[in-house]
Structure 1
Amino acid sequence: MPEFINLTPENIADEHLCCIIRSRTKHPGVEAKRAWLRDRLASGHVFRKLNARGTCFIEYAPLDAAWTPIVGDNYYYIYCLWVLPPFRGHGYGAELLNYCIDDARRAGASGVCMLGADRQRAWLSDQNFARTHGFKTVDKTNNGYELLALSFDGTVPHFPDAVKSPHIDTDILTIFYDDQCPYMAQTIDMVREYCTAHNVPVNLHHVDSVAAAKSLPCVFNNFAVFYRGVFQTVNLLTADALARILSE
């Protein structure tokens, strides 16, 4: 039988974080994620993974402690459910998702929710997989993002009005980010280098508290991009993706 473990204050310093980043030395993004998660464990964040070196994990938290601007009473929020080869095809994804659902039920929660979209986005969990486990769209933004929820009692969470119609009052490239994803450090470094090389003004806002995350004017899982006042994406950027946004 496969063994799954939860990260705890006692083991988080030594456990692999299931990221596909490979480095012989400590990677700044991985260590930033480790520190971020360590500080969240006391508020109910859960990182559960296959006890193997690879990518097979789920990360979730009570919605009131989750760094996302979603409103809902007594819900849990899934940041990420990610299973990569060679671990696919063994039912591990279902086992991890069911663990989260059962955990929420044991806690007396009203349900579990996650961020989705009208089409699958690269940096969001597989929403079609979630739908096979009973998740349904319960709210939408005007720019293609959806809130999926599995309700236990008929109540549902929702997006604030500002999130449904995202806009900021600056034309400058603006990025909100936190340290929840190990890829964040290298993504932000790339943005800085690209913008310096191409003389592009940029505002980088490090989201450093749950209150700051919940006050954001857009959907947010750990990253959000605006350009010319218009929301662009939650996907972490490559240089090519950034160039496409700036050319539009």
Structure 2
Amino acid sequence: MTEKFMNLTMDTIDREHVCCAISDKKHQAGVLEKKKWLKERFTEGHVFRKLDVQGKVFIEYAPLETAWVPIQGNNYMYIYCLWVAGSFKGKGYANELLKYCIWDAKEKGKAGVCVLSSKKKKPFLSDKKFFLNYGFEVVDTVKQEYELLALSFDGNKPYFTECAKQLRIKENELTIYYDFQCPYILNSIVQVKEYCNEHNIPLHLIVVDTLEKAKNLPCVFNNWAVFYKGEFETHHLLNAVFLKKKFLL
């Protein structure tokens, strides 16, 4: 491997891309929100490490205590996203990124590393099989569908909050919890608003803008969660096509 990896910092973030939406114009406003969100996280130990290429090759993780997810644990690192796409697949980059995260966690005296996954492979969630190969194990579940995987260094294990296992809210209208950790979110919000306005569909949008809100959400959350008729439906980002197919036929 001749390419080099880099960790984004306050000094480099404005001139570097954040991988997910490098050149797609409709997501550039979301990229700006993402960078703003990252700048507020760096002082908390948040790490965004990427390959120095024009491509989607990166890992993003943070101390679990300050990670915006309804997961608790003692001194863990939480992986938000590990993504290698396109022509960069099959070259060992995902292995390198995960090895770095594990090394970094040990160097910082962490008790382990954890990540949100699922029993069967789902879009926007980490591949369970890949992490199991590195010694991760399932330590908690929600709905017998979503799984918390952990690699423990000392036997201590993280867990979903009791709130995350509720999967119910009082509101019956389409309700979406979201933050700006992902560059694709802003465009999804725009599409959902337009579709719901056009079809007179009640919509309740709840921005998760504090750590406290994130830790007390009534569902699994990795930056996006959808409820409909009071029930948790999906972590999948929505657009008009997905809305019509999933909820509104």
- Give the TM-score normalised by the residue count of structure 1: 0.96
> Which amino acid in the other structure matches residue 19 of structure 1?
C
Q: Percent identity?
A: 50
> Contact conserved, 1:227 with 1:245, CA < 8 A, in 2?
no
2-structure distance, mates of 1:234, 1:96? 24
2-structure distance, mates of 1:225, 1:20? 22
Q: CA deviation at 1:25?
A: 9.2
> Contact conserved, 2:105 with 2:113, CA < 8 A, in 1?
yes
2-structure distance, mates of 1:23, 1:142? 35
Matches within 5 A, 1:228-247: 228-247=229-248
Q: CA deviation at 1:187?
A: 0.3
1-structure distance, mates of 2:21, 2:205? 25
Q: CA deviation at 1:144?
A: 1.2
Matches within 5 A, 1:100-119: 100-119=101-120
2-structure distance, mates of 1:239, 1:137? 34
Q: CA deviation at 1:26?
A: 8.2
Tell me which residue corresponds to 2:166: 165
> Contact conserved, 1:58 with 1:80, CA < 8 A, in 2?
yes
Q: CA deviation at 1:24?
A: 6.0
> Contact conserved, 1:142 with 1:165, CA < 8 A, in 2?
no
Distance change in 2, residues 1:71/1:25 (3 Å) = closer
1-structure distance, mates of 2:164, 2:26? 39
> Contact conserved, 2:119 with 2:128, CA < 8 A, in 1?
no
Distance change in 2, residues 1:122/1:25 (3 Å) = closer
Q: CA deviation at 1:229?
A: 0.7
> Contact conserved, 2:47 with 2:61, CA < 8 A, in 1?
yes
> Contact conserved, 2:135 with 2:151, CA < 8 A, in 1?
yes
Structure 1 alignment gaps of length 5 or more: none
> Contact conserved, 1:176 with 1:206, CA < 8 A, in 2?
yes
> Contact conserved, 1:110 with 1:155, CA < 8 A, in 2?
yes
**Secondary structure of 2:87's match?**
coil
1-structure distance, mates of 2:22, 2:204? 26
RMSD, aligned CA: 1.5
Distance change in 2, residues 1:26/1:156 (3 Å) = closer
1-structure distance, mates of 2:89, 2:119? 24
Between stretches 139-148 and 76-85, larger displacement belongs to 139-148
2-structure distance, mates of 1:62, 1:90? 28
**Secondary structure of 2:37's match?**
helix
> Which amino acid in the other structure matches residue 82 of structure 2?
L
**Count of aligned pairs:** 248
In the TM superposition, what whole-angstrom CA distance separates every residue of 1:14-72 from its partner, at most 9, and x where no partner exists?
Answer: 00111245246981001100110111001000000000111000000000010000010
Distance change in 2, residues 1:106/1:174 (3 Å) = same
- Give the TM-score normalised by the residue count of structure 2: 0.96
Distance change in 2, residues 1:5/1:225 (3 Å) = same
Q: CA deviation at 1:127?
A: 1.9
Distance change in 2, residues 1:3/1:21 (3 Å) = closer
> Contact conserved, 1:225 with 1:234, CA < 8 A, in 2?
yes
Tell me which residue corresponds to 1:67: 68
Tell me which residue corresponds to 1:86: 87
> Which amino acid in the other structure matches residue 156 of structure 1?
K
Tell me which residue corresponds to 1:198: 199
> Which amino acid in the other structure matches residue 54 of structure 2?
R
2-structure distance, mates of 1:242, 1:156? 37
> Which amino acid in the other structure matches residue 242 of structure 2?
A
